[in-house]
């Protein structure tokens, strides 16, 4: 059967942001791709009351979907990789105390923060269990995970060219150009580069306009201190074909002290572009990208 491929660039709002599929294929493949993203959102979004994450946060125990079980298993793995700087139980603070992403955003008191406790997420064969006072927040990994699932679907359906984007998470199916938005000036570029091979994953995390009252009270909470991180305002990681991992790693690096972050990245097979709070840039760009 002959299938007429065409250049398609479509965008929809998914996971509270714009999802873009820009590929050469047919329209039905693109539409099915958006349905896949929507299915993942319906499972993993804490802003949908009927999602698996919302039910787990309320009931503290659930028989998980394949998406929830897989992403929680990976989250526990990345918790260990990052020495606890990536911690989805941060939802206890981001959801219950700061209430980020809602109309009730607030600055919690020091007493509330001190009294909060982060705890492990227990993944069993048939169910997931969290502490009675815990909530999980997948905001630091879910978009990367969704991009990976979308990429796999598109590759299985004969897609060979294009770019996928979900907020700060990007997948270049073939080689592409990427512009990193400046965290300081809204319409400015921090850095631009071209990928030098196919199937490259990019994840950017930063303080970009998500804060309460002032930029010091941003949404990137250090799980070690329980307060907004003080080291970086922009973190971009680039690797070969794994958005889930680098989304989690970018979240973790964003809240690490500078030396710990650089030590952590030193033996990882990935490029990076970091800007600290003093506007100093740290970069390694010799593996997967070429600056221009």
- What does residue 134 show for φ and ψ, rounded to 5 degrees? -95, 155
Distance CA 226, CA 220 (A): 10
Contact residues for 196 (Cβ-Cβ < 8 A; gap 6+): 175, 288, 289, 290
**How many C-beta atoms lie closer than 10 Å to residue 35's C-beta?**
11
Q: What is the total residue count of the chain? A: 292
Annotated ligand binding at 247? The verdict is yes
Distance CA 164, CA 19 (A): 8
Annotated ligand binding at 140? The verdict is yes
Annotated ligand binding at 263? The verdict is no
Distance CA 49, CA 51 (A): 6
Distance CA 76, CA 89 (A): 10
CB 232, CB 183: distance < 8 Å: no
| Lookup: tokens for 121 | 């997420």
Angle between helices 66-81 and 52-59 (to 10 degrees): 70
Nearest 5°: the CA angle 167, 291, 195 is 60
Question: Which residue ranges make up the annotated binding site?
Answer: 140, 247, 251
Question: Which residue ranges make up the annotated binding site for Mg(2+)?
Answer: 140, 247, 251
């Amino acid at each position: 059967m002959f299938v007429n491929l065409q250049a398609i660039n479509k965008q929809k709002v998914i996971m509270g942001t714009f999802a873009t599929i820009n590929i050469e294929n047919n329209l039905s493949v693109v539409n099915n791709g958006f349905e896949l993203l929507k299915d993942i959102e319906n499972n993993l979004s804490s802003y949908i009351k009927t999602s698996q994450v919302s039910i787990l946060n309320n009931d503290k125990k659930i028989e998980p979907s394949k998406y929830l079980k897989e992403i929680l298993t990976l989250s526990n793995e990345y918790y260990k990789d990052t020495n606890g700087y990536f911690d989805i139980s941060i939802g206890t603070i981001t959801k219950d105390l700061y209430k980020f992403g809602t109309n009730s955003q607030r600055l919690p008191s020091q007493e509330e923060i001190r009294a909060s406790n982060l705890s492990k997420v227990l993944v069993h064969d048939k169910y997931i269990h969290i502490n009675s006072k815990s909530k999980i927040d997948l905001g630091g990994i879910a978009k990367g995970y969704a991009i990976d699932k979308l990429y796999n679907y598109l590759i299985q359906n004969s897609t060979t060219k294009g770019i996928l984007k979900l907020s700060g998470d990007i997948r270049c199916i073939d080689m592409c150009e990427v512009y990193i938005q400046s965290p300081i000036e809204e319409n400015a570029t921090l850095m631009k580069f071209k990928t030098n091979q196919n199937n490259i994953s990019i994840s950017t995390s930063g303080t970009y306009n998500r804060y309460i009252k002032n930029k010091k009270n941003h949404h990137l909470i250090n799980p070690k201190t329980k307060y907004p991180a003080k080291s970086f305002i922009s973190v971009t990681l680039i690797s070969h074909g794994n958005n889930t991992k680098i989304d989690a790693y970018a979240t973790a690096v964003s809240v690490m002290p500078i030396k710990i972050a650089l030590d952590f990245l030193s033996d990882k097979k990935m490029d990076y572009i970091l800007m600290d709070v003093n506007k100093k840039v740290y970069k390694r760009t010799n593996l997967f990208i070429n600056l221009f």
